[in-house]
Structure 1
Amino acid sequence: MRTFLLTRIAAVALLIGGIHPAFAQVVPVPAPDTTRKYANPAGVSSPEKAQWYKSKLFRATVIPAALITYGAITAQGNAGINRQNREFVRKQFRPVNSMIDNTVIFLPYLELGAVALAGVESRDDRLNTLLIIAKGEAIMLASVYAVKFLSREIRPDGSNNQSFPSGHTAQAFLAASIVHTEFRDKSQWYGVGAYTIASSVAALRMINDKHWQSDVVAGAGFGILSAHLAYLSHRNRWGRKSIGRGIGLAPAYFGSGASGMTVTWRATR
């Protein structure tokens, strides 16, 4: 009996000795750090910051900024590349009626209205498109005429000192850029047609000896930039309502060299 008890006690001692090291190896878990528990309550990692060259602002301004910069650098009047291009144009072309310049600048808007009336759905409804046009026109006119006043560049024909940049070219490229933005998801050819018209305006201004090459290049930049800034700053959207789809616009000629735009509105439910 005594031997049996000693054997049992020895077995229990060995069992405890084998279990003890296992408990001794357990590492206590440290308490969680609560000092930053409110830094990110949702527990969602913050998105990586987009590269600056991928931002909408950079992509919208890089091309027009390059055009304006080139025009400003080469704006030397009767010197350098401006004189050479003027001599080349005068040898190749004869001046045409300047009234054509005043009419062709609105042809991209005519394309915009014609394509919309044909049933092609634009990016924005009629009302928002008109708001973007109005905003783009305001930006373009303010910037172009401010620079004209500050630069005081003499025109090639010497008529006045409002040469840089070309307002006609800026107007045409503003309209072309809006056409391209509104219909590029449907077909790129709408934009190609509008930019072809705008480029012809720039060529006509040089053929008629009203602008240097630097003027029309910078004018194109101001027009494109004005359209892009109008879209970037446009947040006043009400959706594609029928009232917006009932609005149309078209260029008009009022005689005596005066041209403009007409707006029509058709009430719909």
Structure 2
Amino acid sequence: MRKLIDNKRVDFLDYLKDVRGYSDLTLKSYDEALREAFTFIEIAEEDGREIFNLMPYRHHIAALNAKTISKKLSAVRSFTTYLNENGMRILLKGDASIKVAKTLPKPISHEHILEALQEADLFERVVVLMLYTFGLRISELSHIALQDISLEWLRVTGKGNKQRDIPMLPSTKKILDEYLAVYSPKRFLFEKKGEKLSENSLRYVITKVFRRIGLQVTPHQLRHSYATSLLNGGAPITDVSELLGHSSMATTQIYTKLGSALKQQNYNKAHPLCGGEK
């Protein structure tokens, strides 16, 4: 089994590079974390499933700070998810989460998004715009059906099967209509042979589009860009929280911190006492 796991680790790293667009430094970090982890993780079989017992590994890294532990365990979780999605049946044991301080999201500038859109084909433009102008999660994007699209609204089914309606920009509707006329999907907005396109396929589209302009971008960063643009433009946080499908206002608060940081930077540039009188 450990020989199989080692082979799968190599496949997983190729997936992170080719599909997710991870940098060489990040790939090295994942590789080192997984090599270390599986020196200590106990592997057993139970009811046709492989059990990965993390406790021996957690004892080994217990003296590290919470953020480092969280990153190492996150690598194992991502690898396990990959294995389960590719035909194996894995159950993690001893996988209690580690609490770490939330970090500010990193949105992509509007200018960079416009630059990427100029280099994109019709299909790619629609994928980018759906994430950027609706603030969708990648899982929500893959599930968009034609019946969810109306003249001025998009109905989204989010976490917990909660539905929300998001207004559609006229410019987005125009390019969406062009896409529908060219590709003629039958049921889902993005589909292949009648089946919805996978989240990984859509992620790869984003990776490919922004790689052309020298950026490493994830779909979730476009969601961040949507949220911060609305808040910086004066939209009430309650409205933004509803549009994002957040179950708690506290989740949306992190974007206001980012907006405050941006305002501080602009203030420092604009005020005469911050940079000398003009």
Whether the TM-score (by the shorter chain) exceeds 0.5 is no
Q: Whose radius of gyration is greater, 1 or 2? A: 1
Q: Normalising to structure 1: TM-score of the pair?
A: 0.24
Q: Normalising to structure 2: TM-score of the pair?
A: 0.24
